[in-house]
Structure formats: structure tokens, C-alpha cells
Chain A
Amino acid sequence: MATDTTVAAGVDAGGIPDPHVGRGVWWRRPGLFYGVIGAVIGYAIGTWLGTWLAEDNQQVQGLGHNDFAVTLGYLVATIGWLAGMGALTYPLQKMAGLQPHVEHEEERTLGRYFRYTLDHKVVGVQYLVAMIAYFLVGGLFALAIRTELLSPTAHLFQPGTYLEIVGTHGTMMMMMMTSAIIGPFGNYFVPLMIGARRMAFPRLEALSFWITPAAFLVLLSGILIGGFPSGWTGYAPLSVEATQGMDAYLVAFGLMSISMIVGGFNIVVTVINHRAPGMTWTRLPLFVWGMLVTGMLMVLAAPVLTLSCYLTLLDRTVQTSLFNVQQGGSPYLWENLFWFFGHPEVYILALPGFGIAGELLPVFTRKPAFGYKTTVAGIVGVGLLSFFVWQHHLFDSGINADMRPMVMLTTEMISIPTGFIFLALIGNLWRAKIRLTVPMLFVIGGMLNFLIGGVSGVFLSDVPTDTVAHGSFFVMSHFHYTIMGGYIFFFFAGLYYWLPKMTGRMLDTRLGKVHFWSLFVFFNSTFLPLFAIGELGMPRRVFEYADSLQALNVWVSISAYLIGVSMLVFVYNFLKSTVIDDKRPLPENPWGSRGLEWLTSTPPAADNFVRVPTVVSGPYEYGTGAGPMAVMSSPGYPRVPEGVS
């Protein structure tokens, strides 16, 4: 963004060059190095402060644990980390009345990936690598769980350790992975797809990313201080009586909720305001619709999670009694607040996937999007309804039993907008030119998996059948079908589809097909039997099960290991294409897509477009004779078009 265009020379704009961009010696500007130093100093200060505040507290002395010290240590360490990364520079400059310039400079060094950068494309790549790393770490915990489940009694881990692993796996996947699509692809491609040269709030996108490593490390460090026994749902009062590891969960989840709020906020504001001229709401790509609604869900649901984590920390530190039934509190308070966030969260993990499916299908069927408006209605409808169904997690809890038919209705109603989205899928395939490329395989596989996830969800929405399934492996299998089978498959679809745009390099197609087929087969062979295991009476999160279920469990464990092998194929493919192989020339648009993101250079320049494009037709006008989606250069569009204000 050029800033020197309108302010006449000699007028002091009170501006200063932004310290985050431009060249400089690495130790003279904020970055990873100072982030780590800041975190260490912050941890020391926080721990000292917590000790000083609370060491005389009788409760703390009785516990032998100072939750104040742990919590403050984590929080101040995070602040120190962000300060060291440079996140606080801008707010402090604002306090001094300065207005930093954003001057994008072509800086193509590796170092920018380790800095608090204002380029949404760099943030997208940072997110991509980080999300893959978090996913693989969470996956390793899953393999540990399956290893323990090889036999019906404890044989490898002690019961408490097993719960730590289960909780860490669940929390890692459910909280870190919330941004697996909106983080990399949302940040990278939303501005490109709407014809914007930047995000609305570039510092917020960097903030949303740089919180995630802090949350990740805080969560993992929980293992070192005893882990947390409560699974990813963290039900009180179990969470209140747990040891210090619980503080790690609460702080990490709280941080991640802030990251979600900040990231979603930025996306929503960007889509509303930064669309290029001509990018009307009916021309908005379906992926952007998915991102918009996901961002909205994050912005509106995640604050409740922040509050819940904060409330539990209060119960554990200053001894409020919000969840203590003997002192006027109630464990139901957590269940309600948590699931009020938790159910939209489930759709935060589903809608981005639908967005990718809707985006990719027209490209690989060479047809206009089938039922574009129906799909949008589906996405928006799912997002809206998701706020009204949370009590179906509490069917058996003994709360508001009179409400159950209504919640049953709202829950089952979700299948109507979800049906819209499926309608679009099958409509797109009608008489199409279907190319089964690797991204398309992942889209179809994801849809097939999600279908099973969705149908099993109906069993959970119906109170009588939920009685059997609730809290069992059935539920666990159900949401793995929607999240792992749907969301992660769509994530891979997006990755195979867009990586050429992000890096200029294709992933290997043959390895990609091996990856897809092995993942699809072993995924199903892992999670289909788990429906049966759940229905036959095995609760979630236990390793003690009936001897008669051992054969099935062993089958599942072996399949799970094979999923791990499939992931290794992917990791090899990913590293080979991005890091090891030399750069190969790539067709600018390897899939023949009409999308706006493919009309700019590969990889895109720092400001995406030399001139903000003018959109003249929709993104999916295959076979309709429409010209390119946008006019990219100046001739013919010399003035600010009508309607821009």
C-alpha cells in the first residue's frame, strides 16, 4: 500500500515506517529470537508474580500447587512471546499518536516466515506448516491411544497417563485444528479470491497465527506438569479438582479461542469491505462464503469459550464457586457455556470443508456451480442453526428434560441445510466432465465420509437412539467421520489444489493418489467398526473394555497405524515437492480454473494485484461463454467504478 500519494509534501503525517517490514539485520528487529526470550522472561515474571501473590494462601499451601503461578506464568509468557515477536509495537506506537506506514517490500527471504509479518500470504504459509505439524502431533497421540487399546486392560500406560493422552489428542485436534482451513487457505486465498490487495487488519492476521504456537506449546507442556484428566470437553467439577495440567488446558484453549476470534474477525471484515469492484455477493466464490460464515461463527461463539476457560481458572485460583453446587454454583453452567461454544465449533470444523468442496467441484466438473444460491443458503443456514442445538449434548444430563423435543427438532433440522450442500455436490456431477485429479478424489472421498458422519448424527439427535450412543465410541466415530473424514479430507483437497499457487510447485500426483486411496480405505476401516464398538457398550475414553470387543479393537488399531503410514506418504510427498526438489516450471493455472486467484502471478506478488481487478463475471461460468472472471489491467477501467464508496 502506497501511503505517500495524497498527503502533500511537507505535511507531517505523524507516520513512521513499519518496523515489521523491510530489510534489516535480524537482531535489530522483532522476531522469533526475541519472541523466545520474551516468553522465557515472561514465564519467570508470571511465575514470580503468582508465587508472590498466593504463596501464603491456605488453599495453595494445602494443594501443594500454586495454580496462580502456573496460570500467570503461561499468560505472561504468552504476552512476552508476542511482545518479542513485535505484536505490541503497533499498539504502543498508537498510544504515542503515531501511525505506522505499511510499506510492502519484495522480501523473498526465508526469514519472513519467522516474523510477525503483515503479508496475508506469508501468514497463510505459516499457518499451513504449523497446522500440518499440530495435526501430526495430535495424530501421534491418537496412535498412542490405539496402542493402549490393543488389549482390554492396562498394558502400556497407567490410567492417569492414558487420560492425559486422550485429553491432549482431543484438545489438540479440536482446538488447534479449528483453523486448519481458515488459517492457511482462508488467510491466503480470501483476499486473492475477492480481488483485495491485503486483509482489512494485517496485524490481526499475524496475531491470530502467532498465538497458535503459544497455545500449542502451553497445551503440550501440560503433560510435563501432570496432564489433565478431563478430555477435550473439560467438564467441571472434574476440571476444578484436577492438578496443574488443567491450567495448561484452560490457558491454551483460552488462547486458541482468542486466536479464533481475531482470525475470524479479520476474515469477516475483509470479505465485507475489501471486495474488488464488481465482486457482488452473488459472485462471491463458495469458498469465501464458507470462510465468511466460519469467521462469523468464530467471532460469535469463541468469546463464550474464552469466558468459560476464564471462569474455570477463577474457580481454580481465587476460589469462586461457579461450578460448585454446594456454594451456589452448578456444573451445568460449564456444560451450557461450553457447548454453546462447542456446537458452533463443530460447524467451524465443517463449513470450511463445504466451502472447499463447493469451490473445487465446478473446476473439476467443468460446469457452473449447481444451485449456487441453494449452497449459500445451506452454508448460512447451518451456521445460524448451529447456535440453537447445543443442548443435544445434554440429553442425558438431567437438565431441562422438557426442552428435549425442541432441541431434537433444531438438531434434526440441521440436516436440511446440510442437504442443500449435498444437493450441490450431486448436481455438479450431472453430465459433467469429471476429472478425478487428486483434489477431486479428496473432495468426493470427503463427501462420502461426511455423508456417513451426517447420517450417524441423526442417530445422536434422536433422544431414544442417543441413549445408546451418547458418551460411547459411536459418538467418537461420528465426529471423526465429520471432522477427520470430512474436514481433513477437504483440507487435503485444498492443499493439493492450491499448493501450486502458494509455492509454484505441484505435489506428486502418483504419491497423491496413493495417499488418498490408503487414507480413504484405512480411515473407513478404522472408524466403521468403532460405530459397532460404541453400540456394543464401550464408552469413550476408557481402555477397559469387554474381552469380546478385543478382536474389533485390534482391527481398528491396525487400521489406525496404516492411517499413520498413509500420512507418512503425504509428509514425504509434501517435503519432496516443497523443500527437496528443485523448482520446476509450472503452468500458471494447472487445473484450468476460472478463479480470480489464478489470474494473478504465481506465487502472487506482495500486493497480490498490480491494480485492483474489476470483476465482470462469476467464478464458475464454465461453458456459458463468459470471458475471464475479471479485468486485471487498467485499460478500459480508468476510473473508480460506480458504487465504490
Chain B
Amino acid sequence: MAKSGRIAAVLVALAAVVAVAAGVVVYLVAYPPTASASPVGSASAEVTMQTVPAYNQDPEPTWVSYMIKQGDSWVHTTMFQVPAHSLVHFTVYQFDTGSPLRNPFMNQTANLVGGAENVNGKDVSLIDANVGDGVGHSFAIPALGVSAIFPGVSGDSTNQCDVAAPCPMTFDHNTITFTIQTGDPGSYAWQCFVPCALGYPIGFGGPMSTLGYMNGFMEVVA
């Protein structure tokens, strides 16, 4: 091959390598996909979420998941923005059945405004997850010490959500509301502490470890 041909071949090969590398970087930055629901207000904000017992859609149809309401539609994300130094009101529709926790210490609420959450109209600050329907999921921000827990729907119910997410309100669910106070701007990881990853050896892993399912980020913006 002539010298020019060899140079051209090398350049083409390099271009291909650069393209593949760039593609991988873009993929890694973009994955997992996280649309951002952004209910930002000035002094307070509303975040509406639901937990679904199975996402029933690709890529992970069997995984439990959170969803966030953006406008009138439910978005499959766990990223949301809230204003700094303000009250954030959460409304959670809990469709999943419950179970005990690995560490019963997380049976209680913590650092909520007013000290308790409201479950179906009743103030609750402690649930015994070892009895009854247990706890379905929880919402905790370890960095802020925040914890809210969502009792499970009855496992005997015949009206459990089994459709593709989001779950319509016609299925059995618990409605939980609570309020937290945000502080300085920053990115705060939140997660669920109930071992709800079905099929995984210790109930953790899978959706529990994957952004967009059972954990996410609360972006506190100025």
C-alpha cells in the first residue's frame, strides 16, 4: 500500500476509535435516562409521587419503582428539583404490598415538619412493620436525616395494581402526605430502605441500586 493510503487507513481507524469512544461517553452520561420533574415554586413546592409494585414496562418490567407527577402526567424518574430554604409538600400514592424492614429502626418517621406524616388522613410517626401489612416503601434522605414510611396495601386484596405503570387510582393504595424543610442548595440522594427488590438475595440490589427506580436525587436549587 502506498504511504498516502496507509496514512488514510490510520486516520480512518483513528476516527472510528474516537467516534466509538465518544459514543460510549455519551451513553454513559445519558444512562440511565432521567427526565427531571421540576415542581419549583418560590417558598414552597409540591411533589407528587407514586410507588408501583411492578413497572411492567421495558427495560425492567418486574422491578418496583417510583414515579413522579409532572403536570398531569406521570414520569418515570426519581429526579426532582425543589427550592432551597422552603417547605416541600410530598404526596405519595403507595400501591405496593408491604414487608418488614431489615432494620426496624427505620420503622419511624424522622425530621418531618410537624413530626409525623399523614396516612389516609391519620397522623402517623411509627409503624410496626413486623405486623399487619408491613411497610411497602420508604422515602429517606440520609444526609438530612429525613425519613417517611409508606404502609403496604393488604396482600390479601384482590384489587392490587397489576397494570403497566403508572397505576390508576382505582386500585388499592395508601395516600401519604408529609412535609420537609429544605436547606442549602445541593444535590441530595434519597432512597428506599425497605428490602423490596423481589428475587434479589437480600432484597437489595436491582431496583434498590438503580437510579430511576428506588432511589434518586433531590436537587435543591436556589
Task: Spell out A's residues near B (CB within 8 Å).
Answer: 58-65, 140, 144, 153-154, 156-161, 164-165, 223, 226, 229, 237, 240-243, 315, 324, 575, 579-582
Contact = CB atoms under 8 A, between A and B. Distances in A.
Most chain A Cβ neighbours within 10 Å, of B6, B189, B206: B206
Given A153-B186, A159-B189, A144 B28 contact: yes
Given A164-B28, A580-B3, A64 B201 contact: no
B3 A62 contact: no
B29 interface: yes
Interface residues of B, number: 34
A158 B21 CA distance: 18
A156 B29 contact: yes
B199 interface: yes
B62 interface: yes
Interface in B45-85: 60-63
B32 A158 contact: yes
A250 B145 CA distance: 37
Contacts of B197: 241
Nearest to B54: A64
CB-based closest 4 A-B pairs: A62-B199, A241-B205, A64-B62, A63-B199
B43 interface: no
B209 A64 contact: no
A157 B62 contact: no
Nearest to B189: A159
B52 to A, nearest CB: 14
Contacts of A140: 21
Contacts of B3: 580-582
Nearest to A321: B201
Contacts of B139: none
B19 interface: no
B127 interface: no
B108 to A, nearest CB: 26
Contacts of B9: 579
Contacts of B206: 63-65, 241, 243
A241 B204 contact: yes
Contacts of B164: none
Contact of A159 (B7, B10, B211): B211
B31 interface: yes
Nearest to B79: A158
B109 to A, nearest CB: 25
Interface of B: 3, 6-7, 9-10, 21, 24-25, 27-29, 31-32, 34, 60-63, 186-187, 189, 197-202, 204-206, 209-211, 217
Contact of A324 (B61, B201, B209): B201
B29 A243 contact: no
Contact of A61 (B60, B186, B199): B199
B198 to A, nearest CB: 5
Nearest to A165: B28
A223 B28 contact: yes
B103 to A, nearest CB: 15
Given A62-B62, A63-B62, A580-B7, A240 B201 contact: yes
29 contacts: A58-B199, A60-B199, A62-B198, A62-B199, A62-B200, A63-B62, A64-B199, A64-B206, A154-B187, A157-B28, A157-B29, A158-B32, A158-B211, A160-B32, A160-B209, A165-B28, A223-B28, A226-B210, A237-B201, A241-B200, A241-B201, A241-B205, A241-B209, A242-B209, A243-B206, A243-B209, A315-B201, A579-B10, A581-B3
Contacts of B7: 580
Contacts of A164: 28
Nearest to A59: B199
B202 A144 contact: no
A160 B201 contact: no
A58 B7 CA distance: 57
A507 to B, nearest CB: 16
A579 B3 CA distance: 9
A304 B191 CA distance: 37
Contacts of A165: 28
Nearest to A140: B21
Contacts of A160: 32, 209-211
Contacts of B6: 579-580
